[in-house]
Amino acid sequence: MKIIHSISELRAWRKTVGEVAFVPTMGNLHEGHISLIKVAKELAPHTVVSIFVNRLQFGQGEDFDRYPRTLESDAAIIAANGGVDVIFAPDEKELYPNVIQQYQVNPPAIAEELCGAFRPGHFRGVATVVTKLFNIVQADVACFGKKDYQQLAVIQGMVADLNVPIRIVPVDTGRAQDGLALSSRNGFLTAEQRAEAPRLFFHLSRMKTAIEQGERDYSRLAQETVADLRARGWLDIDYVETRNALTLKPAASTDRQLVILIAARIGTTRLIDNLEVNL
């Protein structure tokens, strides 16, 4: 397994191999990433994992500085799970040689809703770095987790609209036994917060069951969730929304493919999760 830091070395390696599957990450790998890598390895004979904490997608006051940089242990985790061909781990100067990234990829208005409403510019930062990584790695297929459902939708839209020659494969959310979606941010939770955090999945499941049983008053379902989380001491509840799973627009009562999305802060840690509903 090679660890490559420079774009030129990565490009030189790329010329020597056939089909490549790609998993972009910001490192601090957990079981969720491992399942993305496992899926990727089944999709192509060669696999690249990138590890880069992308300043451009963090807003002011977000956790860019405290985001764990754990390349050595990430490489060990990947190796312990059978390895990949290449870990691409550029530093900031390599990926952003211009102090200000002058050309960026601007996603459409849907990227300003849900998480985008609370993290202005976030998806522009994601779309920009993913475009750069796609251009560098030149993979045939890339895996993205459904945990970041809006990110997945933004990337799928970008690839379709800009004719990027890559296939995007969505991968199901990995969960702890109590339902908590696996996330690098779970590591910030105290023991007490960790015990409370699966409440998000509890409500997603409760709402899903209600919808499957015929409930169509999505805003009432959301209000019940918000009231319960507030009563249990959750701080900012950014959103609880039922949306059309394909367009991410607010769900109509006739829509059959839905996704319930939630984002809320417990202590200082913002957690997101979602659950699809197919009627």
Q: Which residues are catalytic?
A: 33
Beta bridge partners, 239, equal 263
Size of the site for ligand PAF (CB under 6 A): 10
CB of 184 to ligand PAF, least distance (A): 8
Nearer to ligand PAF, 32 or 198 (CB): 32
CB of 79 to ligand PAF, least distance (A): 20
Alpha helices in 69-148, H assignment, sequence order: 71-80, 92-95, 115-118, 122-137
Query: Strand, helix or coil at 36?
Result: helix
Query: In Å, how far are 128, 153, 228, 257 from 254, measured between CA atoms?
Result: 35, 21, 28, 9
What does the alpha-carbon distance between residue 20 and residue 40 come to, in Å, rounded to a whole number?
9
DSSP string of 191-236?
HHHHHHTTHHHHHHHHHHHHHHTT---HHHHHHHHHHHHHHTT---
148 touches ligand PAF by CB under 6 A: yes
Judged by CB under 6 A, the residue of 115, 130, 258, 264 near ligand PAF is 130
| Near ligand PAF by CB under 6 A: residue from 28, 35, 47, 54 | 54
Query: CB of residue 255 vs ligand PAF: minimum separation in angstroms?
Result: 26
Question: In this chain, which of 126, 137, 182, 211 binds ligand PAF, going by CB under 6 A?
Answer: 126
> Using CB under 6 A, which residues numbered 150 to 209 contact ligand PAF?
151
Residue from 75, 89, 114, 129 touching ligand PAF (CB under 6 A): that is: 129
Determine which residue in the list 13, 20, 24, 196 makes contact with ligand PAF, applying CB under 6 A: 24
Segment interacting with ligand PAF (CB under 6 A) among 23-31, 67-75, 97-105, 135-143: 23-31
User: Of 55 and 216, which has the nearer Cβ to ligand PAF?
Assistant: 55
CB of 54 or CB of 225, closer to ligand PAF: 54
26 binds ligand PAF (CB under 6 A): yes
By beta-carbon proximity to ligand PAF, the closer residue of 57 and 269 is 57
Taking the C-alpha atoms of residue 24 and residue 212, their distance in angstroms, rounded to an integer, is 34
Alpha-carbon Rg of the chain, whole angstroms? Answer: 19
Least spacing, CB of residue 126 vs ligand PAF, in Å: 5
Residue 75: CB atoms within 10 Å = 20
**β pairing state of 257-266 and 269-278:** antiparallel
CB 145 within 8 A of CB 36: yes
Q: Are 274 and 147 in contact (CB under 8 A)?
A: yes
CB of 215 to ligand PAF, least distance (A): 32
Helix/strand number for the chain, H first, E second: 10, 9
- For the bound state, the minimum distance from the C-beta of residue 54 to ligand PAF, rounded and expressed in Å, comes to 4
Residue with tokens 């023991």: 191
Candidate residues 10, 14, 21, 25; the one interacting with ligand PAF per rule CB under 6 A: 25
Q: Is 121 in the site for ligand PAF (CB under 6 A)?
A: no
Rounded Cα distance between 120 and 122, Å, is 6
Q: Which stretches of the chain bind ligand PAF, using CB under 6 A?
A: 24-26, 54, 57, 126, 129-130, 148, 151
